[in-house]
Structure 1
Amino acid sequence: MDWNVELLGNTIGDWLTALGLALTINVVVGLLKWAIIARLARVAKQTSIALDDAFIAVARRTRQWLIFGVTLFIGTRYLELPERVEAVLTGVATVAAFLQLGFWGMAGLEFWLERYRQRTLQTDAGAATSLAALSFIGRVLLWAIVLLLALDNLGVDVTALVAGLGVGGIAVALAVQNILGDLFASLSIVIDKPFVIGDFIIVDNYMGTVEHVGLKTTRIRSLGGEQIVFSNADLLKARVRNYKRMYERRVVFTFGVLYQTTPEQAEKIPRIVEEIVRAQPLARFDRAHFFKFGDSSLDYEVVYWMKDPEYAKYMDTQQAINLALMRALAKEGIGFAYPTRSLYVEAPVRVEVAPAPSAS
């Protein structure tokens, strides 16, 4: 075979040399990829550093056919090529390079999102699920940037394209503003975490346990058993009371005793209540006072703190306090008040009955 035969101004030998150089660089890149994945993976298993894991994830997304598009351009640099062929090779190399950068960027984004999802999976399943929205937005932004950069390097004027995308984006946003509002509200819930799966919340007059945080709606299971669905945007506008975030529960309760209670007995009652509350293992006493004269009772107000905010434990403690209070007051001869009304007559009323007329 005659290696001096020319093709597009270069001999066959020159073309084979250029192809061999391109393939050699491609093979070197492939070997480097294998070394990173195989060798570095062993080291990564023994460390807790995330950087080496991210590097491996990026290396796995290396596409040899895209690398070949770049190495072919490098291999033909010393050849004398027609302007049209040169432009084609430059375009192929540019597109391949930016596609590969896009794949690497996707690998980094997915690695970060997966790492974040694993960290939140145990405590916030809703956040892990809603990361799909963040992943979608990240993918769109990444590939939009890659596309614009590739077109700009190919000599395309992207100014008009960016302006058109901006106008189109505004039109789309206006058309689906409610959906986008719920979508961004979902992201706000994921990032800010006003509540998570399993929290007991009250929204306006509705209350229940959070079951699901989605891209558009949040669902809670009410105490009655039915599921209540809230729009994410409306939910963030409301005032949410999250009882799961309570570290302690403040408890205020009142009771009344009979007006027949003597001042000495009334004075003992706050001390009796204090002893009863302090005897409860989960309660921290705050105060107990005789605070007013009621319509039919002497009224006392008691305040204490529950060290464990769980509602069932609060009810158990309150029940124990009530029973102990009944026994203690009965022992002191003090009775609990109940609604009564007393009628006082100042003097007896004498009624005179006129004698009946006699029959004649």
Structure 2
Amino acid sequence: MALQSLVAAAAGQSVLGNTVSDYTAALLIFVVFVAAAGGVQWLLLRYFVRLARRTDTAFDDAMVAVVQTIKPPLYFLLGFYLALHYLRVTGFAERVVNVLLLALLVYQAVAALQILIDYFVQRRLIHAEDRAVQSAARVVKTLSSIVLWSLGFLFLLSNFGIDVTSLIAGLGIGGIAIALAAQNILGDLFSSLSIYFDKPFVPGDFIIFGDYMGTVQEVGIKTTRLTSLSGEEIVVPNTEITSVNVRNFGRMKERRVEFSFGVTYQASSEQLQTIPGIVREAVEQQKQTRFNRCHFHQFADFSLHFEAVYHMETKEYSAYMDAHQAILLSIKEAFEREGIEMAYPTRTVYVHEG
């Protein structure tokens, strides 16, 4: 009986405005919450790990990474926060706990969002191996990280009672000054992102724009590098490429070829009528070609002018040149057999004697 009375007396004593029973209940709440939070995290992590092993998608891997970012200090502090609500504490202690808890929650939210953004960026890189795509992905991840952590920091300052309006205004003015000082660099940076997302060309494409032509070797953050037909490297700022029209021969599926020639006025009408058939036969003898048309086009100054069109069913330039050369040689041989003369600039001078 004496022991029970002593225990009851001790439980009823007040320490810092709370009884021993209150502290015991708060401790119990803290322990139960921490154990429950740890158990829920373990179950979620186990579920997502098992799901990741059964599927080929990367989203469940991202969810595993999100759950793994939840560290014990977070649910320790949450448990302590809940336990404090059962006790009567001073305003300062409660304020400290609120500040720490808010900071941890903001950190957790930003870290989770960053993982999800990395996941979506990674999805864009699954089938991409060139360095341009990797550079653009690094830029996107860096910019998103800066934006997220900046917003989180401003959110914390606002909840701490600090007026962030003047700070945002100052950052805005500073940002404008930096942007003006580095506008060329920033312009090239955003142009590289435009090239990455819009993909007007990729490494390996032969392009022509402005006074430049060549095969794209690399699309960097600031410049694009080409190899010209003569072999030298051409380095062009990205802003210059995105501000002009670009002709991309790498996307060409077939080549339309138009050529013309003339025969002399001494050719007979019967010979002229055989010329379209000669051209058709010469084109159809070559592989990967498709004849379109051949017509007597006009009476020129020194020739009877013909115009012919055919299609090459390949984008390879060397294959086109080989086929075109063979077609022209075949036409020349056929004209020699038929006695048809090719025209060239001539002048006939009549001398009157008298």
- TM-score, structure 2 as length reference: 0.87
Matches within 5 A, 1:305-344: 305-344=311-350
Unaligned runs of 5+ in 1: 350-360
CA contact (8 A) 1:70 1:96 kept: no
1:228 CA drift (Å)? 1.0
Aligned residues: 345
Q: Which residue of 1 aligns with 2:352?
A: 346
1:268 CA drift (Å)? 0.9
CA contact (8 A) 1:94 1:154 kept: no
Unaligned runs of 5+ in 2: 1-6
1:293 CA drift (Å)? 3.5
Taking the aligned partners of 2:27 and 2:332, their CA distance within structure 1 comes to 97
Matches within 5 A, 1:153-164: 153-164=159-170
Aligned: 1:79 with 2:99: no
- TM-score, structure 1 as length reference: 0.86
What is the DSSP-based 3-state SS (H/G/I as helix, E as strand, rest coil) of the residue aligned with 1:265? helix
1:114-140 Cα shifts (integer Å, max 9, x gaps): 121224x15x65233212221121111
CA contact (8 A) 2:132 2:221 kept: no
Q: Which residue of 1 aligns with 2:173?
A: 167
1:33 CA drift (Å)? 3.3
Matches within 5 A, 1:36-75: 36-49=44-57, 51-75=59-83
1:150-186 Cα shifts (integer Å, max 9, x gaps): 2223333222222222222222222222221111111
Matches within 5 A, 1:1-360: 8-10=16-18, 15=23, 18=26, 21-22=29-30, 24-49=32-57, 51-119=59-127, 121-122=128-129, 125-347=131-353
Taking the aligned partners of 1:27 and 1:327, their CA distance within structure 2 comes to 94
Letter in 1 for 2:257: V
Single out whichever of 332-341 and 307-316 deviates more from structure 2: 332-341
CA contact (8 A) 2:59 2:119 kept: no
Letter in 1 for 2:243: K
1:254-280 Cα shifts (integer Å, max 9, x gaps): 223333322211121012112322343
What is the DSSP-based 3-state SS (H/G/I as helix, E as strand, rest coil) of the residue aligned with 1:118? coil
1:20 CA drift (Å)? 5.7
CA contact (8 A) 1:185 1:233 kept: yes
Closer, same or farther in 2 for the Cα pair 1:263/1:32, shift >3 Å?
A: same
Single out whichever of 327-336 and 33-42 deviates more from structure 2: 33-42
1:46 CA drift (Å)? 2.9
Taking the aligned partners of 2:24 and 2:204, their CA distance within structure 1 comes to 66
Single out whichever of 189-198 and 332-341 deviates more from structure 2: 332-341
Letter in 1 for 2:67: A
Taking the aligned partners of 1:224 and 1:7, their CA distance within structure 2 comes to 89
Q: CA RMSD in A?
A: 2.6
What is the DSSP-based 3-state SS (H/G/I as helix, E as strand, rest coil) of the residue aligned with 1:98? helix
Single out whichever of 10-19 and 282-291 deviates more from structure 2: 10-19
Q: Identity of paired residues, percent?
A: 42
1:86 CA drift (Å)? 0.8
Taking the aligned partners of 1:69 and 1:316, their CA distance within structure 2 comes to 77
1:232 CA drift (Å)? 1.3
Closer, same or farther in 2 for the Cα pair 1:221/1:16, shift >3 Å?
A: farther
1:101 CA drift (Å)? 0.7
Closer, same or farther in 2 for the Cα pair 1:41/1:324, shift >3 Å?
A: farther
Closer, same or farther in 2 for the Cα pair 1:215/1:6, shift >3 Å?
A: farther
CA contact (8 A) 1:222 1:228 kept: yes
